[in-house]
Chains A and B, each alone.
Chain A
C-alpha cells in the first residue's frame, strides 16, 4: 500500500493538466496526459542522449503544467510568512527542483500504462479536482489532480494519490523542520538535497 502510493506519486506528478481557457478541466487533463504519455512511448529517443532529451521534454511540459508558486505557498501554508521575499523565491526554485528530480527519473521508466479519466469535482470557485485512474499490471491506482484557474489557465497545485496529497505530505515534513530550524536552515537542507541529486 505505501509502496503503491509511491509508484503513483511518481507517475502522476508529471502527468498533469493544463487547459486552454475554453476547455473544461477534465478535457485538458486528458490532452496533457496523452501528451506526456506520447513522450514516454516515443521510441525515437534512443540511448543515453535520448533519455536525456526525454527527461528535458518532460521537464518542460511540467513547467507549463504546474503552478509552482501555488504549490509552494500551499505546502508551507502558515510558514510562508516566515520567509522573506528573497527566501520565498529560493524556496520555490529548490522545491521545484526537488520534485522534478525525484519524479522525472521515475516516470521515465513507464511506457504502457493506461489512464482512465473519471470525473471532475469543483472544490471552490477557482479550483477543481480531476479524478483519474492509472491501470498498471499490478494494480489500479486512483489519482486526482487539483487544478486552479489563474489568468485563464488551469494549472496543477496538488496531486492526490490513493488519498495521499502531495502538498499535505510535504507540508507536514516542512512544518516539523521549521518547528526547530530557521527558514535559512531549511533552505540550506534543500540546497544540499538538490546538490546531491
Chain B
C-alpha cells in the first residue's frame, strides 16, 4: 500500500498548488466582492488567451449600469463558477481534434458494425454488467464523502444486481427496489472537499477532464476490478476496448448533435463538461 499512499500524497500537493493559482470556484451566493471577481476574471482570461490582448470588457467591474436589470447581473455572477482555466489550450485543442478523428474514423464505425449484429437490449445488459463492476469506485467515493446512505445503496445494488440481476446484466435494483445508480468518483470526492478543478485537460482517447478529475481517474483505476485481471495489460485493454465500443454504440449521435448545435464545439464541450461535473459534485 505504501507506494500508493506516496503517490496520492504527492499528487494532492501538486493539486493543491495548482488549485490555489488557477481555481475559479466561487460560492454560489452573492457575497463575492466585485473587484475580486474582476481580478480573478483577468487572471483567467489572460491564462486562457495567451495570444490575444485581453479585451476591455473583461476589465469592467461587475457592477452593471442602470439600464440592465438585476437578473442579468445575477446571471453573470452565476456564470463565474462555470469557468475553468484553460492554460494549455493549444494542447487541448489538438487532443480534441485527435479525439474527434478517432471517433469518426475508428470508434463510430466499430460501434455501428457492432450495433448491427448486437441488439440494443443486449448492449444495455453489457453496459449494466460493466457498471456493476465499477461499484467499488462509487462505494469508496461515497464513503469518503461521508454519504453513508449512498454507499449502502451501492452495496445493495451490487448484491441484488449480481444475484437477481444475473451477474449484473440486469439492473433489477432500479426496477424492483427503485434504487438507481448514483455516480460518484474520486474526482467528485476531491471536489466535495473544496479542491477546485484546477485547469482543463483533454486526454487522447479518454476525453475531457480537469487536473482534479484526472487525479481522481487515476485513483479510481486502483479500485476498478478490470485492472486486476491477469495477465494485466492486454486482457484489461481488450475488456476496456469492448466496454468503450459498447458504450459508444449506445450513444451514437450524441457527439454529432453537440457539434451540430454548437458554434464552437471545443468551447461547448469544455463548458458542458465543467457544468456537468460541478453539478455532480454538488449532488
Contact = CB atoms under 8 A, between A and B. Distances in A.
A102 interface: yes
A43 interface: no
A173 B275 contact: no
A4 interface: yes
Interface string B39-58: 00000010001001001011
A98 B262 CA distance: 9
Contacts, number: 129
A168 interface: yes
Contacts of B52: 179-180
A124 B83 CA distance: 24
A146 B76 CA distance: 16
A6 B254 contact: yes
Interface string B72-89: 101110110011000000
B62 to A, nearest CB: 10
B161 to A, nearest CB: 16
Say whether chain A's binding surface is mostly helix, strand, loop, or mixed: helix
Interface string B161-180: 00000000000000000001
Contacts of A179: 45, 49, 52, 55, 57-58
A140 interface: yes
Kindly name the residue among A3, A6, A165 whose own CB sees the greatest number of chain B CB atoms within 10 A: A6
Contact of B180 (A140, A165, A172): A140
Contacts of B120: 137
Interface stretch (A20-28, A31-39, A47-55, A72-80): A72-80
Contact of A137 (B71, B124, B251): B124
A102 B257 contact: yes
Interface residues of B, number: 51
A4 B261 contact: no
B2 interface: no
A140 B207 CA distance: 23
B263 A170 contact: yes
B275 A165 contact: yes
Contacts of A81: 67-68
B278 A163 contact: yes
Interface in B199-257: 207-208, 250-251, 253-255, 257
B55 A9 contact: no
Interface stretch (B9-17, B137-145, B265-273): B265-273
Contacts of B58: 179
Interface string A126-141: 1100000000011010
A102 B276 contact: no
A143 interface: no
Contact of A78 (B76, B255, B258, B264): B76
19 contacts: A2-B255, A4-B254, A5-B254, A5-B272, A7-B254, A9-B261, A74-B75, A99-B261, A124-B71, A163-B279, A164-B272, A168-B79, A169-B272, A170-B268, A176-B264, A179-B49, A180-B52, A190-B263, A193-B263
Given A77-B79, A106-B257, A180-B49, 7 more contacts: A1-B183, A78-B64, A137-B120, A140-B180, A162-B279, A172-B268, A180-B52
